Amino acid sequence: RKKINVLGMEFDYYNAYDLMKALRGKINRGKKTFLVTANPEIVMYARKDEEYREILKDADYVIADGTGVILGSKMLGTPLPERVAGYDLMCSLLEAGSREGWSAYFLGAKKEVVEKAVDTVHVKYKGLKVAGYHDGYFKNSDAIVAEIKAAKPDLIFVAVGFPRQEKWIYEHMGEFEKGLFIGVGGSFDVLAG
Ligand code: UDP
């Protein structure tokens, strides 16, 4: 697969359309997948945190989120096709999931925020099944992991802010059989309105 290096981070060469096509295939085949949408903040942070850098190397997809990353890739003479924002990707996945009858788990944000976000999902993405949700202010992950293991959702959105969300996914992914795991930062706040 084609990779583009921007300041030490290896990005996958995808536009939003081709990415969704690839992800639809993975999800419908039940293939466990870890995707990171990396903005300039993440790129700069990864330069200082080796553990985080190694985690991102292990991700199945690292996608450029932010015009700064696209601009950087152009200046380096190896342009990436386009920005794919985490929030937009989440909405595209919910939309596709609504058509395909996928299920999703929502982990992160304040309790009232994730509840509101889930309410919005029920209204806006009717065909999608909500497998469960939990706020992002927890210490012990055991109950959450058990819930996800039992529900086997197709999509797992983790919105506890970077770098914690990617570290959480990396730490627990081995315990799950399937699902697309993606860190989506403050996206539940936007979805909650
Ligand atoms: N958050 C959380 N648990 C925490 C700290 C933050 O669930 O311990 C949530 C917070 O409520 C917000 C999101 O994580 O919904 C962080 O959003 P932000 O826009 O700061 O994302 P970042 O740019 O840090 O990834």
DSSP-derived secondary structure for 93-137: HHHHHHHHT-EEEEEES-HHHHHHHHHHHHHH-TT-EEEEEE-S-
Which value, to the nearest 10 degrees, does the dihedral of the CA atoms of residues 20, 21, 23, 27 take? 120
* Identity of the amino acid at 28: N
Residue 162 Cα: closest atom of ligand 1: 25
Spatial distance between the Cα atoms of 160 and 124, rounded to a whole number of angstroms: 23
C-alpha to C-alpha distance for 116 and 137, rounded to whole angstroms: 16
Of the options 3.30.70, 3.90.380, 3.40.50, 1.10.3470, the CATH number for the domain spanning 3-192 = 3.40.50
Three-class SS state of 193:
coil
Q: Which residues pair with 10 in a beta bridge?
A: 5
Q: What pLDDT is attached to residue 1?
A: 87
Residue 136 alpha carbon, nearest atom of ligand 1: 7
Residues with CB under 6 A from ligand 1: 108-110, 136-137, 159-162, 185-186, 188-189
Q: In a structure prediction context, what are the per-residue pLDDT tens digits for the chain, which is 193 residues long?
A: 899 999 999 999 999 999 999 999 999 999 999 999 999 999 999 999 999 999 999 999 999 999 999 999 999 999 999 999 999 999 999 999 999 999 999 999 999 999 999 999 999 999 999 999 999 999 999 999 999 999 999 999 999 999 999 999 999 999 999 999 999 999 999 999 9
Structural domain boundaries in the chain: 3-192
Residue 60, number of CB atoms within 10 A of its CB: 17
Bridge-based pairing of strands 103-108 and 155-159 is parallel
